[in-house]
A and B are shown apart, each in its own frame.
Chain A
Amino acid sequence: MSVLINKNTKVIVQGITGGMGRTHTALMKKYGTNIVGGVTPGKGGTEQDGVPVFDSVSEAVAKTGANCSVIFVPPYLCLDAALEAIDAGLPLISVITEGLPPQDAVKLHAAAKLKGTLVNGPNCPGIITPGECLIGIHPGSIYMPGRVGLISRSGTLTYEIGLGLKQSGIGISTAVGIGGDPIIGIDQIVSLDLFEKDKDTDLIILVGEIGGTAEEDAADYIKVNIKKPVIGYIAGRTAPAGKRMGHAGAIISGNKGTAESKTKAFTNAGVRVAMTPSEIVELVKAHIPATV
């Protein structure tokens, strides 16, 4: 078991014939993801990497039985692509695209909420259940299968932690890269809830960063609802206020969004907070024996 995706997930790639789409379709297939189709309007009937390409999402779903879409289209086409996937009734979509204008993000998430669609991202590395399914751009070989759930706003920092865990013989159940934008779909709380219910996850790592109040909200949620141990980390504790640190959402505005406030909230909720990425691995080791 795992959360969100597993070996039975049937994936379509929107934007499969674009640069990013082509590259990552090949990598996802190589990893073992069951890619059943791709969508590029106007290129229906062709093939990409042995995968049939369709003109529309609804056609792809009808012909392949897909239950998940991963979106690699340019920012200004992204809203349209995501709305098409939501309309086609897919329960889970992952939006990898970075640079989606915020007003488009609002429309996307409003539509998803109406239909009950789970949206991962935007501006995220996607999701990986090691050994079973990868959607997005995670480097698959960096993770090994195991029983730690990983939730993170960052891409490469997630890989750093996955790699550190693997080097210590610790694997993960699923890593959810929730994305670095101010407005995201599947957030910390949704992910925590999924891991809490997953019988194959023993411990949860929550990697946050400065900006917004999502970590504080997650801490409140953990206090009441999460029984499994949670290890936290906040990136950007030395960041200056008022500066956007790479991610659109990583900015301390006024006195909101500081690492101090998030660390305090975590500690109050019984979350052990690591000060460095390698300390995360040390804290996990104290809970979970290595599997190799």
Chain B
Amino acid sequence: MRLREYEAKELFREAGIATPKGIVIKYAEEIFGVENFPCTLKTQVLTGGRGKAGGIKFADNADDAYQKAQDIFKLPIKGDLPVAILVEPKVVIKKEIYTAILIDRAYRGPIIMASSEGGVEIESSENIQIVPIPGGNYNPYLGRKMATKLGLSGKDVIKYGNIVNRLWDVYTKYDCDLCEINPLIVDGDDNFVALDGKIVINEDALDRQPRFDGMLGEHLTDLGEREFRGKMCGLNIVELEGNIGILCNGAGLTMATMDLVFHHGGKPSNFLDVGGGASKSHVARALDLVSSDKNVKVLLVNILGGITDCVEVANALKYYKETRPEANLVVRLVGNNEEAAQQIMNQAGIPMTNVLDEAVKKAVAVAA
């Protein structure tokens, strides 16, 4: 779950990382409460690239700021309208640095990643420095080590080290996947200030992070309609562009089924992993979700029951067929309780196969 800039900065300030003294406005008129000009108006959206898209503007006085605030509130960034504008006094920038803490998959642990070229897309920076955090045990020397790598010296080493110490506190306290300051600036008074920030909270950890209760729905980005609804009801769906709806159990088998549909010349409408041990109602919900896209011509159901009971799936399919007799279903159901499931499917008049390739070819033929 990605936080917006103003929410990330709130966590930074609480941890002792300085940020510009900004205010958050939800209506353009609130700009008249701002006293310090010139100021920066920053749209609060969840997508990157907002500066280039016109979501960050500078204003010299209240009237100018009011006009610009009205414009920003109306301007969607990659389809995302702002929930607020962060208004901050314009700052003097002597130096810009990129700094982040995140887990490195190959290293199997957290790392500090930084660059002396702040403000840029980190992917395009050729100056990336890495300091691994051994065994996930952070100690302040690691922050100072990074300071030296960035070419800082003297008091700046201490100041920068303190920023990393506090960033580590935020990273661990809130189960972050990513804690990023970009840019971290050195201002006119030689203080280190977080000018922009990005925090991603790990979604598996949300249930032990009460601070973010109920916030997930308003912090999801880049999701299609079915993906959003799926996420809110615990169904793992990825939208694709074809006309064969896929419902399968287990991530690997679902991917393999999706690949097989392409392999046999068809186009999947989605990836949906119904998970292990799904109940009838869970499967019914998944069937509804998959078929809610009007392009879906056929539903391909592939279940290999390990902990999943095939009878639960069969009952959901039977119910689905009763309520939508016109729907095209191609079903492959094997494993746990397969025989009993077969009987239910026979009664419901739904043909079933136990060979995966056959099922996929049939679905492709129906959808063609």
- Please report A residues at the B interface, Cβ cutoff 8 Å: 23-24, 75-76, 99-103, 106-107, 109-110, 113-114, 125, 137-139, 142, 152-160, 163, 180, 182-183, 207, 209-210, 212-213, 217, 235-240, 242-250, 254, 275-278
Contacts and interface: CB of A to CB of B under 8 A. Distances in A.
A156 B109 contact: no
Given A110-B136, A159-B304, A154 B250 contact: yes
B325 interface: no
Instruction: With a 10 A CB-CB cut-off, give which of B249, B255, B276, B357 has the most chain A CB atoms.
Output: B255
A209 B250 CA distance: 13
Contacts of B205: 101, 103
B100 to A, nearest CB: 14
Interface string B258-277: 11101100001001010010
B105 A183 contact: yes
A243 B223 CA distance: 10
A246 B230 CA distance: 12
A210 B238 CA distance: 15
Given A137-B276, A239-B255, A240-B238, A213 B249 contact: no
Contacts of A156: 248-250, 252-253, 304, 306
A153 B252 contact: yes
B110 interface: yes
B177 interface: yes
Contacts of B136: 103, 106-107, 110
Nearest to A259: B259
27 contacts: A23-B307, A24-B307, A100-B204, A103-B110, A106-B136, A109-B109, A110-B137, A154-B252, A154-B253, A156-B248, A160-B256, A163-B304, A183-B108, A209-B251, A212-B106, A213-B105, A235-B253, A236-B255, A236-B258, A239-B238, A242-B222, A245-B255, A245-B271, A248-B204, A250-B251, A276-B256, A277-B260
A25 to B, nearest CB: 13
B126 interface: no
Given A101-B204, A103-B202, A142-B335, A157 B253 contact: yes
Nearest to B305: A139
Given A245-B271, A246-B236, A157 B109 contact: no
B208 interface: yes
Interface of B: 103, 105-106, 108-110, 123, 135-137, 172, 175, 177, 202, 204-205, 207-208, 222, 236, 238, 240, 248-256, 258-260, 262-263, 268, 271, 273, 276, 304-307, 334-336, 356-357
B222 A246 contact: no
A278 B358 CA distance: 11
A138 to B, nearest CB: 7
Classify the interface of chain A: helix, strand, loop or mixed. loop
Contacts of B335: 139, 142, 159
A208 to B, nearest CB: 9
A159 B306 contact: yes
Nearest to A113: B135
Contacts of B304: 156, 159-160, 163
A28 B273 CA distance: 25
Chain A to chain B: the 10 pairs with minimum beta-carbon distance, closest first: A154-B252, A246-B251, A156-B250, A157-B252, A110-B135, A156-B253, A101-B205, A246-B273, A235-B255, A236-B255
A76 B210 CA distance: 14
Contacts of B249: 156
